Amino acid sequence: MTKSNRRNPNNAPGLLKDRTGIPGFDEITGGGLPAGRPTLVCGSAGAGKTLFAMEFLVRGATLFNEPGVFISFEETDEELATNVSSLGFNIKQLIADKKLLLDYVFIERSEIEETGDYDLEGLFLRLEHAINFIGAKRIVLDTLEALFSGLPNEAILRAELRRLFRWLKEKDVTAVITCERGEGTLTRYGLEEYVADCVILLDNRVENQISTRRMRIIKYRGTAHGTNEYPFFIDENGFSVLPITSIGLDHKASTERISTGNSQLDTMLGGKGFYRGSSVLVSGTAGTGKSTIAAHFLDAACRRGEKALFLAFEESQQQIIRNMRSIGIDLEPYVKQGLLSFKNARPSTFGLEVHLALIHKAISDHKPQVVVVDPITNFLAIGDARQTKQMLTRLIDFLKNEQITTIFTSLTSSDNTIEDSEVGVSSLMDVWLLVKTVESNGERNRGLYILKARGIAHSNQLREFRLTEKGIELVNAYVGSEGVLMGSARATQFAREAALAAEREDTRKRRERELQRKHEIYEAQLLALKNHYESEREAMVRELQEPEVGAANQRVDMAPLRPADVDPRMDENGARKARKGNVR
């Protein structure tokens, strides 16, 4: 029989599968449960077997229009309906619509006589009637231990188990059968997993007084499947599995740049900020402003109209909003607009895997473009460094795969190597901002520098980092004789340099005045020398002209006294006489 829900991954010949509709489960199984075959779901008490089986039926009825039958050997119909109503499943309505049928089969071991002719014919008749009554495509048997509690003979038990599984295959219904986990075995009898086509193990373990639920696909005939342990949780929306351990290094690398929320920090990052989808680590000791840098980033994202998610593990939502108002950042309007969502929890509330699952769910629900995780070092309270790094690695891979730009803050201890992250994830980060305190002149000042920024030309300077009423202010690097100066040392040096500059200006003006006076004296002296020169020149000219005039006058005066010297062509005044006939 062919079902509209049954599909084969990549349209390749092979095993058909039925989607369960359980978030995450169909991804790790490559399409769902084997269609028309029985699947064994085993686990200890409280692992979630019954809820998984019920959701398999409910999702099939509501999402894929596949009616289902739930045969219970432990809980009555009313008890089942009440127990799953907290998950939002309207069992009574599904029963009224003939999408679901609940049947409670009471088995009393004392009433069973073990004989060689014992079989499950009565159960088969009851199952067939239920299947035909609503046209069921799915069926659940909960649990095998209750069904076979009256069969201590292993030979009979093995035969009846095989017969049950064979009968379910012949009816071409996709079946889920739950069973209790045994001592050192997957199942109570140690036989069921061998006859089932698919075996799923649900585990609820407690480590360091923290409970964590995990799922593992032990066996799946005829198809490839995920083999890791996958965290899952049960909340008001039902059963959710996180296939995050299977994410690889195949995420996209965007070339789009987005602002950090501070223009001066953008300038240090080549003028454009971070690449979209990058992971940013902001590390430093307590009180250095890590959360403030993250708040600036969220504020800028919300101003662009992007959705943002703040995952806080130290402060409540209202405390964060109040604190950020002191530096001019008001996050509350973004919360009211639905742009910003907070998820606040103490790390010790859940285990690492549950935190990872809840973060995955929060991102799936809110669909943010930017995320802040503040701080990641708090996870060390519920796991060692290796476990925390593994969890954060999966989280970083998931965020990169979703192209979500994320800021992770990390608290470092004062005695820790400054260029080392407490949880060992610095090598996974695309950008690493380091904020630290610098002690000098009896005060502590904040400093910021970029330790690395992959693919971005960035500043290598240490900038003074100030928190003002208008947010973060990054002061340009100032290097003195004793290194980078900050705080009062910078102010003192500025005052000293201002005084020196004023003194140099006074000296310059005084020298200019002296030079001007010298220039005026020079001009006066030059004018006096010129006048003296002119007077001497005139005197000298006169002296040179006086002998010539005197000699001429003397010749004139002596001419009458020597007539023979008189030129007949000269008149009495010594001038040449004109010739006759020539008119001048």
Amino acid (1-letter code) at residue 323: N
Q: Is the pLDDT of residue 584 over 60?
A: no
* Cβ neighbour number for residue 206 with a 10 Å cutoff: 9
- Shortest CA distance to 66 belongs to which of 140, 10, 123, 127? 140
Extract the tokens encoding 149: 């509690």
Its pTM stands at 0.68
| pLDDT tens-digit series, residues 377-426 | 888 888 788 888 888 888 998 899 899 999 999 988 765 555 556 677 88
Question: Which of the residues are catalytic?
Answer: 74, 314
| pLDDT tens-digit series, residues 9-24 | 444 456 899 999 988 8
pLDDT above 90 coverage of the chain, percent = 34
Ordered DSSP codes for 202-265: EEEEEETTEEEEEEEEEEETTS----SEEEEEEETTEEEE--GGG--S-------EE--S-HHH
Q: Which residues pair with 570 in a beta bridge?
A: 576
Q: Is the pLDDT of residue 183 over 60?
A: yes
| Highest mean pLDDT pick, 116-125, 180-189, 293-302 | 293-302
Q: Are strands 238-241 and 229-235 parallel, antiparallel or unpaired?
A: antiparallel
Return the pLDDT at 30: 87
Ordered alpha helix ranges (H), 46-153: 49-63, 77-85, 91-96, 121-134, 144-147
Residues 6 or more apart whose CB falls under 8 angstroms from that of 207 comprise 351
Mean pLDDT along residues 144-153 = 70
Return the pLDDT at 446: 84
| pLDDT tens-digit series, residues 289-314 | 899 999 999 999 999 999 999 999 98
Q: Helices 154-170 and 121-134 meet at what angle, rounded to 10?
A: 20
C-alpha distances out from residue 304 to 292, 300, 307, 562, Å: 19, 6, 9, 124
Q: Is the pLDDT of residue 75 over 80?
A: yes
Q: Is the pLDDT of residue 235 over 90?
A: no
* Sign of the four-CA dihedral 145, 151, 153, 154: negative
Q: Is the pLDDT of residue 201 over 80?
A: yes
Return the pLDDT at 39: 93
Q: Among the listed ranges 119-133, 284-298, 463-477, 565-579, which one has the minimum average pLDDT value?
A: 565-579
Q: How buried is 252 (Cβ within 10 angstroms: 0-12 exposed, 13-18 middle, 19+ buried)?
A: exposed
| pLDDT tens-digit series, residues 442-494 | 677 888 889 999 999 998 888 888 888 888 888 876 665 556 666 666 666 66
C-alpha distances out from residue 572 to 8, 84, 200, 563, 575, Å: 152, 160, 158, 11, 7
Q: Mean pLDDT in the chain?
A: 82
* Sign of the four-CA dihedral 392, 394, 400, 402: negative
Domains, in order of start, for the chain: 9-246 (3.40.50.300), 257-483 (3.40.50.300)
